[in-house]
Amino acid sequence: MEKRAYRFQQSHICILGLTCAFIWLCLLYLNNGVFEAKIIQNSISLQINSSSNNKTDPCGGRYVYVYDLPSRFNEDMITECERNIKWLDMCKFTMNGGFGPKLKNSEDVLTVLSDHGWYATNHFNVEVIFYNRIKRYECLTNDSSMAAAVFVPFFLGFDFARYIEGFNVSVRDAGTIELVDWLQKRDEWKVMNGKDHFLVGGRPTWDFRRKTDNDTDWGNKFFFSPAAKNMSFLLVESSPYSLNDFAIPYPTYFHPATDFEVFDWQDRMRKMERKWLFCFAGAPRPRDPYSIRSRLIDQCKNSRVGKLLDCGDDESKCHLPSNVMRLFQSSVFCLQPVGDSYTRRSAFDSILAGCIPVFFHPGSFYTQYTWHVPGNYTKYSVFISNDDIRKNVSIEQRLGEIDPKTIKMMREEVISLIPRLIYADPYSKLETLEDAFDISLKAVIRKVTKLRQDMIDGRTDDNLVEEDSWKYALLEQGNYAGVREWDSFFPKP
């Protein structure tokens, strides 16, 4: 009996000991978690205190840390371009820092363009342009703890282009998987789990949002990876349903080296004689039942004040900068319907030519480039809905109702936007103007700085609905009317 009681007592002591050990381990784990969280929080605080609070440092709060990525992630894609990329003949456009070949100063070109700063720029080359520009940014740092933001110079669009045709999904996804693996091993990543990182891509967001693993589906699925959801992406077209996509302007043909070249061009556009009320440069989309392009083409052909540059018969003539710019310079309004995706490079060419853009879907411009253009879109553009065109609303009549005084004010607003929508020559610097690069980088730094402060203060964005991200961008601009009126254009995915 005593022996049994002794064993019972022993087992109780054993259980009690195990329970205490378990509780102690739990407390140790929790304390370590709190300790690690505190380390991260203190590290983030240190970054703010050591950079943005230094009022004597002209770069305080503006430093950018650029990863020294293995060359296979960027420059090798350029040097090996002809071997790897057969699609769209992109290789010749990588010269001159991504601007492409210089346009020759023939008499025909000079009557349309100015003397300096013009290149045959491919509109998908923005990541190369951005990369060459940021290498000359005045506030680079080798100390990531000083950085307001961290730039990942991965050529996202080139990685997409080299594997898009004739490769299975495993090959298409391999480059971005390797990049994520490389990043997540870095101490710089661990500070904010990548939330202070940003990339630039010269493609629409949809090229990186493949939903299945079927080889027949388009693109890769980089943006659906957990790591990518922490980073910010600057793309020529963003998703209206993503909180970390941000649209930046398509490159145009004009890359000025001085303020004077910009001012001189703006003066020329003010003085242009515009004999056409409206114009359209493009081709029909017969396979797209939702496209209104054929209707726009018909209206151009049937109007005495409309002009068409038909890219369907001979696409090459629409790739000549002088042809496109000549048309836009001679027109008051330029029609900008949806392209293969929401956006078109043509919208930026029209603004460069001082031609007032006419949009038919808010996703083509208004919800995209909110960093670069004013919230009140009526100042610089006209909006006619796709549905109105399908109801045979007359474009000529609608535009003809706008009085000359209003047109003059709108054109001046358009011309004033030019510096904000172009990418200047990286080997010089605009003195009094900010270009698309300047504005984009400032906006990224502003976003990361706010996010960093929110993390310190314990605030989260858990209450934000990702499918409504297009609304948040408009609200930041103060465009409350767009938020109310455009729901039907953005059905829930």
pLDDT in tens, 19-71: 555 555 454 444 444 444 444 444 554 455 455 566 789 999 999 999 999 99
Domain boundary among 394, 421, 448: 421
Specify which residues 65 forms β-bridges with.
150
Dihedral (C-alpha) 65, 68, 71, 76: value to the nearest 10 degrees? 30
Residue 155 lies in a domain: yes
| Residue-range definition of the domain harbouring residue 409 | 272-421
Q: Are residues 305 and 338 in the same domain?
A: yes
Asked whether residue 387 falls in the same domain as residue 445, the answer is no
Cα–Cα dist 174/225, whole Å = 12
Tokens of 140: 């680079």
4 found inside a domain: no
Please state, in angstroms and rounded to a whole number, the distance separating the CA atoms of residues 467 and 459.
21
Half-sphere exposure of 143 (CA within 13 A, CB side): 7
369-400 burial, b if ≥16 CB within 10 A, otherwise e? Answer: bbbbbebebeebbbbbbbeebeeeeebbebbe
Q: Which of 291, 344, 290 is nearest to 318 (CA)?
A: 344
pLDDT at 110: 67
126-134 and 436-457 are packed helices; what angle lies between their axes, rounded to 10 degrees?
Answer: 80
1: which 2 tokens? Answer: 């009996």
Query: How many angstroms separate the CA atoms of 160 and 85, rounded?
Result: 10
The predicted structure's pLDDT at residue 481: 83
- Asked whether residue 322 is domain-assigned, the answer is yes
- 240 plus 373 within the same structural domain: no
CATH number of the domain within which 288 lies: 3.40.50.2000
* Whether 315 and 453 share a structural domain: no
Q: Are residues 389 and 333 in the same domain?
A: yes
Clarify whether residues 287 and 340 are in a common domain.
Answer: yes
* Residue 12 identity (one-letter amino acid): H
368 and 445: one domain? Answer: no
State the Rg of the chain over Cα: 27
388 in a domain, yes or no? yes
> In this structure, are 291 and 335 located in the same domain?
yes
Residue 48 inside a domain? The answer is: no
Q: Is residue 263 part of a domain?
A: no
Bridge partners (DSSP) listed for residue 382? 358
Task: Tell me, yes or no, whether 150 and 202 share the same domain.
Answer: yes
Are both 198 and 76 inside the same structural domain?
yes
Whether 398 and 278 map to the same domain: the answer is: yes
Other CB atoms within a 10 A radius of the CB of residue 325 amount to 22
**Edge-to-edge strands, sheet with 356-359:** 306-310, 276-282, 331-336, 356-359, 382-383
Taking the whole predicted model, whether its pTM rises above 0.85 is answered as yes
Number of domains in the chain: 2
pLDDT of amino acid 479: 86
Strand order from edge to edge, sheet including 149-151: 64-66, 149-151, 197-204, 232-237, 245-247
Q: Confirm whether 24 is domain-assigned.
A: no
Assess whether 204 and 300 both reside in one domain: no
Q: Contacts from 434-440 at CB under 8 Å and sequence distance 24+? A: 436/248, 436/249, 436/372, 437/129, 437/130, 437/133, 437/134, 439/371, 439/372, 440/130, 440/234, 440/246, 440/248, 440/371, 440/372
Q: Is residue 108 part of a domain?
A: no
Give the per-residue SS3 of the chain.
CHHHHHHHHHHHHHHHHHHHHHHHHHHHHHHHHHHHHHHHHHHHHHHHHHHCCCCCCCCCCCCEEECCCCHHHCHHHHHCHHHHCCHHHCHHHHCHHHCCCECCCCHHHHHHCCCCCEECCCCCCHHHHHHHHHCCCCCECCCHHHCCEEECCCCHHHHHHHCCCCCCHHHHHHHHHHHHHHHHCCHHHHHHCCCCEEEEEEEEHHHHCCCCCCCCCCCCCHHHCCCHHHCEEEEEECCCCCCCEEECCCCCCECCCCHHHHHHHHHHHHCCCCCEEEEEEECCCCCCCCCCHHHHHHHHHCCCCEEEEECCCCHHHHHCHHHHHHHHHCEEEEEECCCCCCCCCHHHHHHHCCCEEEECCHHHCCCCCCCCCCCCHHHCCEECCHHHHHCCCCHHHHHHCCCHHHHHHHHHHHHHHHHHHCCCCCCCCCCCCCCHHHHHHHHHHHHHHHHHHHHHHCCCCCCCCHHHHHHHHHHHHCCHHHHHHCHHHCCCC
pLDDT digits (tens), the chain, 493 positions? 444 444 444 444 444 455 555 555 454 444 444 444 444 444 554 455 455 566 789 999 999 999 999 999 999 998 887 766 665 567 788 899 999 999 886 656 668 898 889 999 998 899 999 999 999 999 999 999 999 999 999 999 999 988 888 899 999 999 999 999 999 999 999 999 999 999 999 999 999 999 999 999 999 999 999 999 999 999 999 999 999 999 999 999 999 999 999 999 999 999 999 999 999 999 988 888 889 999 999 999 999 999 999 988 777 788 889 999 999 999 999 999 998 899 999 999 999 999 999 999 999 999 999 999 999 999 999 999 999 999 999 999 999 999 999 999 999 999 999 999 999 999 988 999 999 999 999 999 999 999 999 889 888 877 888 999 999 989 988 888 888 899 999 998 7
